[in-house]
Chain A
Amino acid sequence: MQQSHQVQEAKAIVFSIKDWLTTTNHKQVGILYIVTAIFFMAVAGSFGEMMRTQLAVPNNNFLLPFTYDQTVTLHGLLMILWVLTPLGIGLANYIVPLQIGAKDLAFPRMNALSYWTYLFSGIMLVSSVFMPGGGPNTGWTLYAPLNTIQFTSQAGMTLAVMALLLFSLSVTMGSINFLTTIVRNRTKGVTWKRLPIFTWSIVFTMALALFAFPPLAAGLLLLSSDRFLGTVFFSSTQGGGILWDELFWFFGHPEVYIVVFPALGVIAEVFQTFAKRPVFSRTAFIVEFAAVTFLSVGVWMHHMFTTGVNYSVLQTFSFTTLAISIPFEGVVLGLVLTLYKANIKLNTPMLYCLAAIFTVTLGGITGVLQAFPALDYAFNGTYFIVGHFHYVMAGTTLFALLAGLYYWWPKITKRKPNEIFGIIIFVVSFVSFNILYFPYFFMLDMPRRISTFSAASGLASLNLTATIGAYIFGPAAALAVLNLVLSLRKPPSSGPNPWEGRELEWTGDYDGSLGTATATAGTAVDPPENTRSSHWYWCRTSSCASVETVVDSTGKSGYLKKSAGVES
């Protein structure tokens, strides 16, 4: 009896493993994406902690220079490509079909293929460290001619190039899939005007991914040919290094937006829900989003100001970089103004999003300084830059995607994570984040990617502060995830819509189970009559009726309506 029970249990486990291996369901694939991204985050975070340990004191010998170079490279590649990008894709996998009322993505099998290629490419990259001769040690930019066989002959480097190729394939397939789904599989009633902001952000993300990853793949093909077949594209003295720079940054700068757009989409959703109003001037917000997308493919050369490009190129790309900051500020201001005079609920997701707004402001301002070639000459290759992009990546993107996880966790698991624990972890992680990265803005004398510094440089106390921050921030981020996981131990506790979210994913029969489409999928959603507002769904419930009245009388401004709603 006992044994047969065990056999049954074993069968159930095997069945569920088979289920996960063969699934093409967007919810399950989304969960796989999120879990895998968090796993890689743990790996890449450990690399980060190792680097901070090495830099805790001057002239440290914790990591040899070669080992340190590998941790720099792996930390960067993993965090940007294998953690932040797929975390956004994972959330999109789960949420976008629900938000547009589609049964699944347009090509479910290709979606599964995207996930598995992503997983295997990540395993390839991490295993490159264990190859004889070590892993890649070039930094995540893989600059030429350092990336050629003459300078990095180890097989681990070649394996990393292969991993990147496979990852490009994964993201390209994903972008085709999402764009097709959103263009062709919206349920009746979900017009472009009514498309939820998070779905809009995924449209722009995927459009950029479709544009950016193939040129990277082209560069990687040239690089593989250099490494396998003895060609000399990147070791050539006639412009080989610049060729790689061009191909890499043509991908690399849009990649920044591929990472940050889903985060901005999450912030907009969370602000809408917790401030109980649509995002400030929704149409303008989306137009600004589109403008950032459009401009972001024309700024890549600002990563190459110090490569000796000629003066007119400097001027052009300085101008485009300043130009892109205008719509981007519009997006951030739109988010901030959504909160103006609103009745805000400060739950965990909301707190993370507020932190993300703080960090995107600081990270953005320190970034736009680089648009001026003169300043870029001074800041390039210093920890100031490191601080800048960590505020955008580790701050904005990671905080906002964590917020997305907390926000949609009740939808995914029927459970609400512990609120008090969540808020405590948030405070700790936000404070330690700033202890970790704020000192970087003062380390103008410290070069990037160098494994140690001298005691005479006067950087010891700043570095130690950053290391202390890192020792708190890492575990805090882990605890934030742990808080989510711990909620699974309890029985389902949350109602169908604990945050009172008003986008389509919260409606229909409440069905947090895996693998079934919601009742809204594939059925027409009737827009309320006489609604002129684009954010029609916001005014479907009775509590929103007062808002709609004001919409109909004034017809325009976003926050005016809601401030009237608050007063009423």
Chain B
Amino acid sequence: MKKASMTRRLFLLSTGAAATGLIVGCSTAAAKGKGYSAIAGAFEPNSFIQITPDNKVIFYLPSSEMGQGILDGLTTLIAEELRVQPTAIDVRHASLHEDYKNPEMGMQATGGSNATRAQFLPLRQAAADTAAAIRNAAAKQLDQPLDKIVLADGQVMVEGKSYGFGDFVAVAALMPVPENSPLRSPKQFDQIGRERPRLDALSKSTGTAEFGIDAEVDNLYRAVVVRSPVLGATLQGFDASAALKRSGVVDVVKIKSGVAVVAQSYWQARQAAAVLELNWEKTELGSWSSDSIYNKFNETLNDSSQKGLECCDEGEGDKLLDQSATVVAADYYAPYLAHATMEPLNCTVEINGDACAIYLGTQNVQASAGAAVYYGDFDADKVKVHPAFLGGGFGRRGLGDDVAEAVLIAQKTGRNIQLVWSREDDMSNDFYRPAALVRMQAGVSEQGLIETWAVRRVGPNIMGYMLDEWVDALAPDYLNKGFVDWLSKLGRPIFNRFIADPSAGDGIYSDYDAPNKAVRHVTQDPGLRTGFWRSVGHSSNAFFKESFIDELAQSAGIDELDFRLANMKNNPRLTEATQLVAAKAGWGKTLPEGHFHGLATHSSFGSAVAQIAEVSIKGTQIIVHKVTAAIHCGMVVNPGIVRDQVEGGIIYGLTAALHGEITLVDGVIQQSNFHNYPMLRMADAPEVEVHIVESQEHPEGVGEPGLPPLAPAVANAVFKASGQRLRDLPLRLS
């Protein structure tokens, strides 16, 4: 590490995790009691598990369930060690409490595909200690030696007799809870690794799963907000007289982001919102359009006086580039993207005196609560979050912008309100996956080994925008608000000028062995806010890297699979996944006429994924027939869910690869709904086959790693099919 210690300190002060962790560390009082409400007579050994006298086992799920299957996965961990069937556990979404913080993030949040990895040992330990406590209590109560007490299938077995757990909760509650009880070994596992229907399938197949939008409280009014057509503009004035005359409308109020219309029903509020008249000030973003943004990126890419920030500098950097036998260079582009979760953002707020209850699906329970504290001026211990299922997350939910609006509306009107965003609100008020333009350069030896890997990347950063939301929501409430707001705005200049945003370099240089690497990122930001979009930097960087690897292999005259394997000798997980997918898809075999294979391999979130897309073209249409994938993600909790997540990543990635593009004209987002921001539909969905590399290593991420290799796998197949090397996303044949 060449960086000076000063930079390191600045880094610690400013990176998202560190900054929020630091602030959260100050803000949160010592954990008080358990994270749940007490139940009379229940055994309550920790904040995760409650066992009632009538044998009910309740598990408080610390991570948000947004489709990724974490409800199933973490419940399975509890079931394994507690010796109960997963289906017998009553799972509830945990509200805010110190004990539910993600151990890696230091924040009660769900993202970065880390929940299984981070909770794999702590939750099993909590369950194992609980099981040990039940055994101890049974031994004492029945006056039997401990080795005669066996837990199995939710029962306490003693000398051929069986008892319910509940028979011993009263005694267990009076005894110390054991610590560091031995965990079951992988050979003993009978729940972890077993494939069975996911636990939330029933409620989600009967319309009974409760999402945020399904919340109901007494005297609930519905609210919609009209925001600036150019994101971030300040309201100059508005005329609500026509809106106020509409039936059902009870209030029209100005809030931070725009003007809210409150009515008895959503439909009434939405109709009235259409007749509001608003004036917005002009902003800098209003002077940008997609063409001018691209041109500015391109100008910056070619302006060598702008050195940018270092993401990676290994060996001799790019100094020896020209000395290689073959030097290849190519520019690639990826556009802004919207998340488009199926459930539009919403938040329900109920205020009782100085107490505030908020109901929503959120990836960040802590930031959601914090937004209510910050914007609503509530005492932190007077805010109660009621988390629900998320109708998709993908990085969009949990920034606090939804809560801020809802709380402000509730306060200004003195009513309980449910704020519901329309699809149009969602599409034009996102935190977008940033666009990026990159120049890839590599020097390859005569033997086909990469000697130098050089990337110059231009585009906006993410972290500054995230900190702007999070610092407000997570700062201790004793800090002056003006100071907090000032602090929250520091992220952008820091990441624009001093420290490369981690997402800029994510995965763009790490998979291959090149001894010399230089990756630099030049910030160029028109001011459109950005955010974490499923797989974050990997979502575009894998496309750049893996398309370019094919270009290198082809210029060296080496098979694309062989070229990769020869250049990833220090990457055993990716090698295993690549070899598995090649065998399963039959790399090199004869395909139906007009069909071609494209390969891409990429590591992200601790896992390695390789994919082979089978593609044909018809005119200018790209048809993806099949995608075969292999994932190395360590130990697997439920293989069905791992396969589903990889397939889901492929479908999400294919929507982006073939259709995804957010464009601006004079700062106004041009996409509004699914007719002009289309989604992949069933008829266009390829057959997907997912294989899992057998492993006993610690579990790694699965929610995101399936996505990054998809676009380059398809692009590489398209090149074989058409001879056209498509270097811009979305993929369009000419």
Partners in one complex: no
B interface residues (Cβ-Cβ under 8 A, vs A): none
